[in-house]
Every structure is written in structure tokens, then in C-alpha cells.
Amino acid sequence: MAKLGVNIDHVATVRQARRTIEPDPVWAAAEAQLGGADGITFHLREDRRHINDRDAALLKQTVTCKLNMEMSIAPAIVRIAENLRPNQCTLVPERRQELTTEGGLDVIRFKRRIAPVVQRLHRKGIEVSAFIEPIAEQVKMCADLDFDAIELWTGGYAHARGARARKRSLKQLETALELGWERGLVVHGGHGLTYDNIGPVAEMEFEEFNIGHSIVARAILVGMREAVRQMKVLATGVFQ
């Protein structure tokens, strides 16, 4: 049965819209846990556009389920991760202009820079995952680079227009997922997943989903605890 990681970045985005102190993503993480989140995910971006260093430190102190830090491979961020020691770091591509993470990290192109980062995080006892597109060569390279896990970019499926395109992207996910497990990687999924589209991927053998925007959007209307509870049922089949 899959687990649900809740990405709380967008709570911080609302706070940063006014550069104030509310809503607090640390409170949101606690509420998400009470709603049944199996993990809390945050992305400490180099430009600190939403989550900041204070949030990261408090999340580390207060989150009692799995803490997953999304991060680029920029040296300053790697040093922060080494000191923070979340349970898992997920390496993602990062561009300043983007609205959100767009597509996966190209682990083939950047393998020389990625390899030492994986080793450094391992030395601190942190599990390391790579956010990649569902492409066989990328999956294989993650196994070669000694990643513990991969998070398959589900954006291709989420953005697919029409039944045929959706089916094709589900097939790509399925193939990459099977290859990942075969190569000894734990396989997660995330990006663009919503209450409406989670169904077909929830039936696959994903270990964990990381879902942010859709949950935070619903939380504005029904509260974080209830929004997480509803997604948990759909993503994992578990009633809280």
C-alpha cells in the first residue's frame, strides 16, 4: 500500500505573498500529520521563494513522520541538508524562472556532479532519491549512481490531454516503475497529482506519493487535516 507525503511549500507561498508570518508551514505540517500524512515534503529553494531556513529547522524538530527535503545539488544547499539530516533528500532540477519544478533531473547529463552529492548525503545517514522522468536510461543511471529511491515525474500523465495520451503516459510510468524495482530502487511518484487524477496511479506499485498543490488548494476550503484525510483514502486506500 502506498504512503502519502504532503508537500507543504504552497502554504509558505501564501505567507510569502505578504512576507508575513502566516500561514505557517510548520503548523500545516503538524495538521497534515494529524490528517494521516505519512511524510512531510518541503523544497528549500536557493532563492528561498517559499520555504526558508527557519522553516526547515523547525520542521526537522517537530515532524515525527518521514521528513523529505527536495533540493538542488547546489553546494550551499547540500551543506544545509548534511547539517539538517532529514530522513530523505530528493534531488530535483531547479530553475529560478520556473513556477514549480518542471520535469525531472537529468541524472545522465549531471552524473559527475550528482555522484559525490549522493555519497555525501549517504555518509550522514540520509536516504537519497532522484526526481526523474519515466525513461529507462534515467532509471538505470540512478541505480548506477547508488540512489536508494527514485521519484517518477507524474506530470506527463497529469498534463496529458485525451484518453490515448493518458494511457500512453501511464504505460511509461508502469514500465519505469517496474524497471526501478527490478534495479533495487524504491519507487515514488509525484507532481501534478490531484483528487481527480490520482486513481489510476494509486493502483500501481508506488511506495509513496508526494502531493502538494492539490492538497493545499483543498485545505484552504476544508482545512489541512480534512484535505489530507481525503487524499489519503484516494492515494493509499487507508481510512484515517
The smaller minimum CB distance to ligand PXP, of residues 7 and 169, is found at 7
9 touches ligand PXP by CB under 6 A: yes
Binding residue (CB under 6 A) for ligand PXP from 142, 177, 193, 235: 193
Q: Which of 10, 31, 43, 133 is catalytic?
A: 43
197 touches ligand PXP by CB under 6 A: no
Q: Measured between alpha carbons, how far is 237 from 2 in angstroms, rounded to an integer?
A: 8
38 touches ligand PXP by CB under 6 A: no
Q: Is 188 a catalytic residue?
A: no
151 touches ligand PXP by CB under 6 A: yes
Q: Measured between alpha carbons, how far is 231 from 59 in angstroms, rounded to an integer?
A: 22
Count of positions on this chain that bind ligand PXP (CB under 6 A): 19
Q: Is 127 a catalytic residue?
A: no
The smaller minimum CB distance to ligand PXP, of residues 100 and 172, is found at 100
The smaller minimum CB distance to ligand PXP, of residues 23 and 192, is found at 192
133 touches ligand PXP by CB under 6 A: no
Residues 160-189 contacting ligand PXP, CB under 6 A: none
Q: Is 43 a catalytic residue?
A: yes
> What kind and span of H or E run contains 197?
none
Least separation in angstroms between CB 191 and ligand PXP: 4
Cell numbers 484552504 correspond to 220
190 touches ligand PXP by CB under 6 A: yes
213 touches ligand PXP by CB under 6 A: yes
Binding residues (CB under 6 A) for ligand PXP: these are 7, 9, 43, 70, 90, 92, 100-101, 131, 151, 190-193, 210-214
Query: Catalytic amino acids?
Result: 43, 70, 191
